[in-house]
């Protein structure tokens, strides 16, 4: 059955009202829903609604809530990816695949060797990124949608470290592995993965991370592209914490 993303404002008195031009067009002209058809709606906060189409108007679609369920599929270990901004098509790949794998959030940031600079106008790109996360959540049947923050600088990234139990920074000169670092800290529930650009981090950035209690790890003998490193690291953390792989 098809799924769409809604907000809590769409739901009132056991009815779901769709007025977004984009979603009305999608339901009417792409999915070609008819009255009495069923569809799943998720609010990105952990609730999913099974709904029946009551009425299809020119600019509005009315759904009746048949059943409501809360998420049981979200992973217990929450992993956020802090990704230094890379070429935008590659960053969008991280958003899409990271959402499918199980990241709970994305924190893009500018670093010394980032390809994308703070001078670039990213407002429209940011709206596109949110849409990519929404579509990936819908496709992968996630009920809780990952968050994405507007790009920040290193200083604001450091401030965000306090929100996590463990901050893990990918660094090719490290001698530690993810397995070793995770074994040192049992029962972690909230982890931040920090991934640099393809030029890695500058010495001053490594120093700042170290002074703010970040732990460094190396993924293996091969040098990976930034987008590959993000997804490999995410998968490794979720496997090592028994969230993926059975």
pLDDT by residue, tens only, the chain of 246 residues: 788 888 888 999 899 999 988 899 989 989 899 999 999 998 888 888 999 999 999 899 999 999 988 866 677 899 999 999 999 999 999 999 999 999 999 999 999 988 887 767 888 899 999 999 999 998 888 888 999 999 999 999 999 999 999 999 999 999 999 999 999 888 889 999 999 998 889 999 999 999 998 999 999 888 899 999 999 999 999 999 887 765
Q: So what's the pLDDT on residue 48?
A: 87
For the chain, how are helix, strand and coil distributed in percent, rounded to 5? 35, 25, 40
Burial class (CB in 10 A: 0-12, 13-18, 19+), 109: buried
β partners of residue 152: 109
The pLDDT score that the predictor gives to residue 73 is: 64
């Amino acid at each position: 059955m098809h799924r769409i993303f809604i907000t809590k404002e769409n739901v009132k008195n056991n009815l779901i009202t769709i007025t977004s031009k984009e979603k009305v067009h999608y339901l009417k002209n792409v999915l070609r829903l008819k009255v009495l058809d069923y569809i799943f709606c998720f609010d990105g906060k952990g609730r999913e609604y099974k709904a029946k189409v009551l009425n299809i108007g020119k600019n509005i679609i009315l759904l009746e809530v048949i059943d409501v369920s809360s998420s049981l599929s979200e992973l217990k270990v929450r992993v956020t990816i802090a990704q230094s901004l890379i070429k935008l098509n590659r960053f969008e790949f991280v958003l899409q695949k990271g959402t499918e794998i199980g990241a709970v959030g994305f924190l893009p940031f500018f670093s010394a060797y980032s390809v994308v600079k703070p001078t670039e106008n990213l407002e429209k790109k940011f709206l596109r990124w949110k849409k990519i996360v929404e579509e990936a959540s819908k496709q992968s049947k996630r009920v809780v949608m990952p968050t994405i923050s507007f790009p920040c600088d290193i200083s604001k990234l450091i401030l965000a470290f306090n929100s996590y139990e463990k901050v893990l920074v990918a660094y090719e000169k490290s001698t530690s592995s993810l397995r070793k670092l995770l074994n040192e800290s049992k029962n972690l529930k909230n982890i931040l993965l920090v991934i640099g650009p393809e030029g890695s981090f500058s010495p001053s950035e490594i120093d700042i991370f170290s002074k703010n209690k970040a732990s460094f790890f190396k993924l293996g003998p091969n040098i990976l592209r930034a987008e590959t490193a993000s997804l490999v690291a995410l998968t490794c953390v979720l496997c090592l914490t028994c969230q993926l792989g059975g």
